[in-house]
Structure 1
Amino acid sequence: MAVAPACPVDGLHARVVGKLPDWLRGSVYRNGPGMFEGAHAVFDGCAMLVRFEVDGPSNRVVLSHRFLESTYYKAVKANGTIKWRMAHPPDAPRSALQGLAYAGGIALGALQYGRHLGDNAVVSILPQGNELIAHTETVSGTFRIHPETLETLGRVHYRDGIHGLVKTAHQTQLPSGDWVGLAADFSPTLEPGSPQLAMPEITVFRQSPWRADRRQKIAAVPYMHPTRPTWIHEIPVSENYAVVVQNPLLYNVRALLMGQTADFMAFDWRPELGSMLHLVPLDGGKVKTYRAPAFLAAHWVNAFESADGRQLHLDAIAAQSPALMSQWELDRVRAGPDSSCQVEPSRLCRLSLDLGLPDGSFLGQKPLLRPLAEEAAFGYGLELPAINPGNRCRPYRYAYAACCVRPTNVYNALCKVDTHTGEVKTWHEPGGATWEPFFAPRPGGRSEDDGVVLSTVMQPDGRSALLVLDARSWQEVARAVLPYALPSGFHGCFVPS
């Protein structure tokens, strides 16, 4: 199987099978790992940015891709291998001496290549103004990207006084165009203009679509655990509220700095802590905090308020534990569909929050998370959800995601879920693999599913293709086939032209 070349690729015309809709014009952007030498998990790979330029009238798809020029990438190129990882094999524990040596290697690497070794912006890529912004879990891993050439234009240097070393790898765009996200610290910080140390906290912010370097603080909320930040990959946002959901998955700083193992990748699972939900009014009103039983939701499909304004509905891809994180280990990804390494279970659920509940309430209703579809219909596993962007933060009906036809060690199907009826439609090509779908609405369309869904898939022959599905019928319309395989991707977007 031919694989994507390591050098930049510009202007490669894909072979289009079928006919693209005449109205479909724009670019599919994707971010994800593309160099794995020395890696333990997929997300240790160096960020590779991909662009599919789609032109329906000429039935043409043109591919470009290149590596993001981060400090992490430059260090990997210089060393010929990945030396500083987010995760380590569970069967390779390190002694205290080995851990100190690993930490010393990080310090020496920072002296040699610069202090931003954790800037591998490998997770997502989103439009902001006339540029694209590539994101990961660290604040330093935020980069400006040229939307046509995919060249790295430089790191985003924030000029707003909001502190934090880590952040959400996703931001959510409000109907107004502003983005909402959060940043957090690992350790106490000095208060501005004061010698006093402040305990680390989580800052929720909003950001103009035209100012990548400035964020406006909405609120600050405390950690669930006083000295250890919670891993928060994304927060659900409605038109009037953001909800900071702290599930009991805590960063293990010792594992990160000393190359040691943790419960799951670089994190510890502490279910006895339960979950904590902070309801943050976007107008700066009083924050309310609730407790709930332990659960894990990395990706949120959507959030919206009920018509009477009394409830906030949070739709999530949820799991009972972080076991699903282990499916991103390279050995598992490469194991093959018939191996014992199967995709971990997850489900599409709704958490309905009564906005009238007083601060400090315990969310003890059962079930806390209500399934929106029969799990067997999507193979007891789905991830990387998407909706029509016109319904973001508002009531919606249809969700799209990568899912499973078992046995499989990777997501190998795409599904459309009707959240009103629970009906699930599935597209599947035996022997293939799928990644995140993107919804492209038809201009002038009157229904929520009037458009197409685009996703990068791996064909049974090992070549990658950009698949185009009719969102209403869930039938294939066309595909643009590449002469080689692209590596696994994480998140991206469709930007119409």
Structure 2
Amino acid sequence: MAAVDALAFAGLEGQIIPASKHKASGAAAVNGNAAADNAPAGSASLEAAAQEGNKDARSGSSRSSSTYPTMAARQALFYEGIEQVDEVEAAVQGSIPDWLAGSLVMNGGGDYTPMRHLFDGYGLLSKVRLEGGRAWGSQRYIDTKALKAYRHNGQVVANEFATPPGSLWAYMQQALAPFAALFPGLLPKSIAPTIPPMTDNACVNVLTVGSAAAAATKQQRNSTNTSGFGIAAASSNDTSRSNGSTQQQQRALQLLAITEDLFGSYLVDPASLQTVKQVQYPDRLPCIMQSPHPALQSDGSLLNFSRTFPFGGSHVYLQGRTTLAREEVAFVPDRHWLAPAWMHDFASTDRHAVLLEHPLYLDFLGMVGGWDNDAAWMKWRPEEGVRVHVVTLDGSKPVRTFTTPAFAYVHIGNAFESADGSMLHVDLGVFEDAQILNDLKLQVLRHGPEQGRQVSPCSYMRLDVPLDCTGPLRLPGPKPLVADAAAKHVDFVDYFNVHPALKGRSYRYVYSTCAVRPTHINNGLAKTDLATQEVKVWHSPGGVTGEPHFIPHPSAAAAAAAAAAADGTAAAAEDAGVVVSQCVDSQGRAFLLVLDAASWSELGRAVLPYSTPYRIHGVWVPSEGAA
């Protein structure tokens, strides 16, 4: 099959030039199965660079700079982002479909100046709003205590993921913060209110909450006659239906910005991106850490897990989308009570949750002191393998635990049950070890080809877990879903996304970021066909790509949802729509990319008049009345 031709956009004027005539700075779309002589001219250099880069993905023996992010891109991504409080119109190049109405809201670090790791920057929300083929952008810092303390003191005060406080006095301030309310003179009055006992830097993810979000989705679900399509309505047992001030305060759509730490949850106004308040959960569920990846169930509730330690474990819970009240459904004790595993994400369907306890363990002394260990400040113990915990959400079965050979992971792509209900398939990005956490140190990311370092390989794989509880407790490891991943530019994939109707269901296409090597971070977007193993890659030399979000076309949405309800697939309509991604080009300019999901060709982009730091996770928020 011939590769798909893409359009390359040059300059702010929006001039459209065929990729074959603009090899150096334009975008190129590449079909992973196409022969080199069938590829467009713009992808020939990409293939050569990738083949050279694949010689040694871990050591980075090739130092070609053509596919690394440029210095301008790295300056924009890994230092300090400037607020753009008022919406400003973006320059549209190409065309954005008129039916595409809504906002892509992304979370991630905004100020990386004092930080050591990609997961540490002070949270900044960025939004690109689309309507009638036009685009507007804005971005704003989340008003956290950690950010206030940093700005007041001129140094980091609260421990971030891999960045410790900036001085002994800063350590003391954080240690004394929990006692400041009891002993008013313990800390200077000017700083005591701003110091959190642990970081509340909500810099990882953002999702929609509130009864308005649920009501809008309920209407969408009713129009498609399926419980599996889109963002689901509020759960019937969500206590938000009761009268009271809570219902009035949260009636409108709101954004919830979250991170892994207990205090790092903030409500944000979706129109202005202004911080509303820090979330205080109306329950007593034990929680020191939480996954920043709540899973939306078809009944409208959120599924997630919190962590307690030492002598604790994982508390799996369901959460109302309006009140945010949590109800525990299962508890999974840690393998090592004094050293819990770091688990960023988990797999889920409407009936099951799967926790993957890989052998990457928290070292609290390393965290507090900021000391390097096997992977950032954590310990990697591959000889212990992975524990796979299967939780039945209705409580009808006890937690079932399996073991597999060691692997590491960060993000789950999707999970679904086999047609006969005997097997649960978990699709995820699999690393050989946990070196990815070292790859994401800012001292690595701020440099490019001069270091010759490359991002660790990560392949999309499937772990098969039996549900009949009669099989062996020892399972084989995950198996690759794509052959020749390196040749297809998907030997590093991350930030997975699927059709919203097929989350927790059988599916065909997965969208992700990828690495066109040599590079030390994601610089491409991939569409992988799991039925044929065909891969299509979009790549812009010198730039960096963000998390992809698939948005179904209105005319195909109902058909896809009906097919999903009937047989668990979206049939031919599964890729009818667009994929949007917030990216940075080789000149350091931020832009929202719009790809046709079927052909993987570029339809257009909205170039923002300000820079945007590296984005991590986000959410597509449809406009009111949009399909």
Q: Which residue pairs with 1:282 in the alignment?
A: 393
Deviation string, structure 1 residues 290-333 (Cα, Å, up to 9, x no partner): 12211112100000001111110000011011101112111211
Change (3 A) 1:252 1:102: farther
Q: Using the alignment, how far apart are the partners of 1:373 and 1:337 within structure 2?
A: 28
Match of 2:120 in 1: 44
Aligned length: 475
Q: CA deviation at 1:226?
A: 2.2
Structure 2 CA distance for aligned equivalents of residues 408 and 138 of structure 1: 31
2:303 maps to which of 157, 180, 189: 180
Query: Is residue 229 from structure 1 mapped to residue 303 from structure 2 by the alignment?
Result: no
Stretches of structure 1 that go unaligned for 5 or more consecutive residues are 188-198
Return the letter of the residue paired with 1:106: Q
Which residue pairs with 1:330 in the alignment? 442
Within 5 Å, give how 1:1-400 maps onto structure 2: 6-55=82-131, 57=132, 59-86=133-160, 103-108=171-176, 111=180, 112=192, 113-129=194-210, 130-187=253-310, 199-212=311-324, 214-285=325-396, 286-337=398-449, 339-358=451-470, 361-363=473-475, 365=476, 367-376=477-486, 377-400=488-511
1:196 is aligned to none
Name the amino acid aligned to 1:383. Answer: D
Query: Which one-letter code corresponds to 1:142 in the other structure?
Result: S
Aligned equivalents of 1:360, 1:119: Cα separation in 2: 42
Query: Which residue does the alignment assign to 2:532?
Result: 421
Note if contact 1:37-1:82 (Cα within 8 Å) is conserved in structure 2: no
TM-superposition CA deviations, 1:124-174 (whole Å, max 9, x none): 000112211111111210111111111111111112221110010111111
Contact kept, 8 Å, 2:291 with 2:304, in 1: the verdict is yes
* Cα contact 2:490–2:526 (8 A) shared by 1: no
How far apart, in 1, do the equivalents of 2:504 and 2:450 lie?
A: 39
Moved more, 253-262 or 178-187: 253-262
Contact 1:288/1:359 (<8 A) preserved? no
**Aligned mates of 2:260, 2:352 — CA distance in 1:** 22
Matched residue, 1:488: 614
Partners of 1:289 and 1:359 within 8 A in 2: no
Per-residue CA distance 1:348-396 (angstroms, 9 max, x = gap): 0001111123487111x3x533333431112421111111111111111
Partner of 2:56: none
Aligned equivalents of 1:296, 1:164: Cα separation in 2: 24
Kindly tell me: are residues 453 and 338 of structure 1, through their superposed partners in 2, closer, same or farther at Cα, counting changes over 3 Å? farther
111-120 or 449-458, which deviates more: 111-120
**In 2: Cα distance, 1:260 partner to 1:104 partner:** 18
Amino acid of the structure 1 residue aligned with 2:381: R
**Which structure is richer in relative contact order (CA contacts within 8 A, separation 6 or more)?**
2
* Secondary structure in structure 1 of the residue aligned to 2:546: strand
| Structure 2 unmatched ranges of 5 or more | 1-71, 181-191, 211-252, 560-572
Secondary structure, aligned partner of 1:302? strand
CA distance in 1, matches of 2:466, 2:162: 41
TM-score by length of 1: 0.91
Separation (CA, whole Å) in 2 of partners of 1:266 and 1:86: 12
Give the secondary-structure state (helix, strand or coil) at the position aligned to 1:125: strand
- My pick for the range that moved more, 200-209 or 311-320, is 200-209
Deviates more, 1:80-89 or 1:267-276: 80-89
- The corresponding residue for 1:463 is 589
Deviation at 1:36, TM superposition (A): 1.5
The alpha-carbon deviation at position 8 of structure 1 amounts to: 4.1
Q: Distance in 1 between matches of 2:156 and 2:338?
A: 29
Where is the strand percentage greater, Structure 1 or Structure 2? 1
**CA separation of 1:337 and 1:396: change in aligned 2, threshold 3 A:** farther
Moved more, 440-449 or 311-320: 440-449
Letter in 2 for 1:65: Q
Q: Return the alpha-carbon distance in structure 2 between the equivalents of residues 494 and 388 of structure 1.
A: 12
Q: Give the drift of 1:34.
A: 0.9
Distance 1:100 1:486, change over 3 A: closer
Task: Flag the 1:84–1:158 CA change in 2: closer, same or farther, 3 A.
Answer: closer
Find the aligned partners of 1:70 and 1:102 in 2 and give their Cα distance. Answer: 17
Q: Distance in 1 between matches of 2:434 and 2:550?
A: 28
User: What amino acid sits opposite 2:480 in the alignment?
Assistant: R
For the residue of structure 2 that corresponds to 1:322, the secondary structure is: coil
Secondary structure (helix, strand or coil) at the match of 1:444 reads helix
Does 1:404 pair with 2:518?
no
Instruction: Give the deviation of 1:39 after TM superposition.
Output: 0.8
Q: Deviations over 1:250-286 (max 9, x none)?
A: 1111122233333212311111221111110111222
Paired residue type of 2:150: V
Among the aligned pairs, what percent are the same residue? Answer: 34
Q: Which amino acid aligns with 1:256?
A: M
**Residue type of the alignment partner of 2:621:** V
Shift of 1:114: 3.5
- Structure 1 residue ranges (4+ consecutive) displaced by more than 4 angstroms after TM superposition: 1-5, 98-103, 108-111
Q: TM-score, normalised by structure 2?
A: 0.72
Match of 1:15, as an amino acid?
A
Specify the code of the residue in structure 1 equivalent to 2:547: E
* Whole-angstrom CA distance in 2 between matches of 1:284 and 1:266: 36
Using the TM superposition, give the Cα deviation of residue 458 of structure 1 relative to its aligned residue in structure 2, in angstroms: 1.0
Q: Which amino acid counterpart does residue 94 of structure 2 have in structure 1?
A: G
Give RMSD over aligned pairs.
2.2
Cα separation, 2, equivalents of 1:385 and 1:463:
24
Counterpart AA for 1:374? D
Do the aligned partners of 1:388 and 1:448 also contact (CA within 8 Å) in 2? yes
**3-state SS of the aligned residue for 2:314?**
strand
Alignment partners' CA distance in 2, 1:370 and 1:139? 35
- Measure how far apart 1:99 and its partner are: 10
Q: How far apart are residue 73 of structure 1 and its match?
A: 0.7
**Shift in alpha-carbon separation, 1:21–1:373, aligned structure 2, 3 A:** farther
Q: State the secondary structure of the residue aligned to 2:430.
A: strand
Query: 1:440, CA displacement in angstroms?
Result: 0.9
Whether the 8 Å CA contact 1:20–1:478 is kept in 2: the answer is: yes
